[in-house]
Structure 1
Amino acid sequence: MEVPARGVAGVGDSAGGAAGAGGSRGGVPGESGFGSGAPGVRGSEAGGAGVSVTGVGVPVGEKPARGKKIAAAAVNQASVWNIANFLTMLRLFLVPGFVALMLADGGYDPAWRSLAWAAFAVAMITDLFDGHLARTYNLVTDFGKIADPIADKAIMGAALVCLSALGDLPWWVTAVILGRELGITLLRFLVIRYGVIPASRGGKLKTLTQGVAVGMYVLALTGWLATLRFWVMAAAVVLTVATGLDYVRQAIVLRRRGIAERRAALEETKA
């Protein structure tokens, strides 16, 4: 008599979640450590031979029927209406509010700028928590994979464009930062067929430095604080360029390795 492998599916799914911990929603990994993570290995891939992926009534050593796989996937799919997605949506809704506060009364009123900074700070804080919650409580959804990186780029891009439009930040700084962010995101998708470029510590430090620098520019600072923010932004620009070049190097290496492995596999098949 074969014994059903009850409860084993939980082990497989936990392994999948750990594999996807490089980012927030199981998509292409981001650099903040909380945003846009690498695809996690699902229970059907991590379980291995002799392990049930449905966890209900499938004997050890037997593969579940296709219909049961689909049912299991449906059960494991988190609801779109969860706290992680709520924080992501909050960040998206904060973008127009932030822009309105930044540009209120000509864009130079310290009170309005302080409120804009508060909105920016809330957006940055939610970025730290939504991905962590999604991974920890298995709240990863397709919506979150798409919306999370969009929200990240939207709030940072809005802040940079507003600062440059008001004359507080040179346009070339905004162009360098946004060009790098969009370029690296596109690069990740171009080489994803060969593998995933992992988030580096340099990328996480870059994200943190950018957030601090932009936040300081949003506030109407004067005196030595205004001088300090200039150097913080300079450090952010240097890290932006340096980490961008490093990701390009990693992408080239990953692509070459992937092509070499495919050729080797093709030659082995022919042999």
Structure 2
Amino acid sequence: MVAAAADGEAMNSANQLTLLRLLLAPLFVILLLYASPDRPFLRGAALAVFVAACLTDGLDGYLARRWNQKTTLGSYVDPLADKLLLTSGFVSLSFMGHLPPSMHIPAWVTIPVISRDVLILTGSLLIFILTGTLKAEPLFVGKLTTVSQMATLFLALLAAPLPLKTFFFAATVILTILSGVRYLQMGAQLAQASQK
């Protein structure tokens, strides 16, 4: 009975939106994969799916706070959904050669994004091994990085003017590195605390 209630709470509106974002991420990549020059409408569809996924990110957070729908499941799945959407987006726009050059994201932007996510996932695994628990506590700089990465992908999908994209490319790289360092520091503090 208690387990059923817990399951019901886990599948609240906020978490349902998060799971929807998880499903939209592969759809977004598939649309880009088939967006050949003779099918430009698929690029528009990919942009629409990406915007919808980003909106669910803001909405699920709002619902979780407004209606007190924060759950352990949501604290883990929400950042995972963000990483899946954003990492797949950066990789696609950097390495899918059939997309227009105006949508291209340079590798010097994508590599720090991927490296940071690998660092965070590896660090989280090590913390779990050392402590037996995993605290998913987003930092302000991490949230700011997510917003910057979303804006960068949106502008690339929109084929925005290069000067504007370049500004966001640089901002995203700086924020990605800063947040990576901050999460690394937080992980080191948790590891040290577990040894006491």
The TM-score bracket by the shorter chain reads: 0.7 to 0.9
What does the per-residue CA deviation read over 1:234-257, in whole Å, with 9 as the maximum and x for residues that have no partner? 110111012211221222233224
> Kindly tell me: are residues 107 and 238 of structure 1, through their superposed partners in 2, closer, same or farther at Cα, counting changes over 3 Å?
farther
Indicate the residue corresponding to 2:158 in structure 1. 219
Inter-partner Cα distance in structure 1 for 2:35 and 2:4: 50
TM-score (norm 1): 0.58
| 1:150 counterpart letter in structure 2 | L
Residue type of the alignment partner of 1:202: V
Counterpart check, 1:230 vs 2:160: no
Q: CA RMSD in A?
A: 2.9
Q: Return the alpha-carbon distance in structure 2 between the equivalents of residues 135 and 164 of structure 1.
A: 35
Indicate how the Cα distance of structure 1 residues 80 and 165 shifts in structure 2: closer, same or farther if over 3 A, else same.
Answer: same
Change (3 A) 1:122 1:254: same
Conserved 8 A contact 1:113-1:220? no
The 5 Å alignment of 1:54-65 reads: none
Counterpart CA distance in 2 for 1:158 and 1:195 is: 24
1:157 paired residue among 60, 76, 87: 87
Identity %: 34
Pair 1:87 & 2:87 matched: no
With normalisation by structure 2, the TM-score equals 0.77
Q: Which residue of structure 1 lines up, in the alignment, with residue 138 of structure 2? A: 199
What displacement does 1:158 show?
A: 1.8
Give the distance between the partners of 1:153 and 1:186, measured in 2 at CA: 14
Aligned ranges for residues 18-97 of structure 1 at < 5 Å? 75=5, 78-97=8-27
CA distance in structure 2 between the partners assigned to 1:172 and 1:115 by the alignment: 27
The structure showing larger relative contact order (alpha-carbon pairs under 8 Å, at least 6 residues apart) is 2
Is the CA contact (8 Å cut-off) linking 1:177 and 1:237 kept in structure 2? yes
Moved more, 245-254 or 201-210: 245-254
CA separation in 2, counterparts of 1:152 and 1:204? 10
Count residues with an aligned counterpart: 187
User: Where in structure 1 do 4 or more consecutive aligned residues deviate above 3 Å?
Assistant: 71-82, 107-112, 134-147, 194-198
**More helix per residue:** 2
Residue 44 of structure 2: aligned partner: 114
| Runs (5+) with no aligned partner, structure 2 | 98-103
Distance in 2 between residues matched to 1:81 and 1:202, nearest whole Å? 28
* 1:78–1:138 CA contact under 8 A, matched in 2: no
1:67-116, Cα deviation, whole Å (9 max, x unpaired): xxxx6675455345432232123212222321233233426865432332
Q: 2 CA distance for matches of 1:156 and 1:117?
A: 13
In 2: Cα distance, 1:197 partner to 1:105 partner:
36
One-letter amino acid of the counterpart of residue 91, structure 2: V
Contact (CA 8 Å) 1:191, 1:254: kept in 2 or not? Answer: yes
Is the counterpart of residue 98 in structure 1 residue 28 in structure 2? Answer: yes
Given that 2:34 and 2:42 are in contact with CA atoms closer than 8 Å, whether structure 1 keeps it comes out as yes
- What stretches of structure 1 of length at least 5 have no aligned partner? 1-70, 263-271
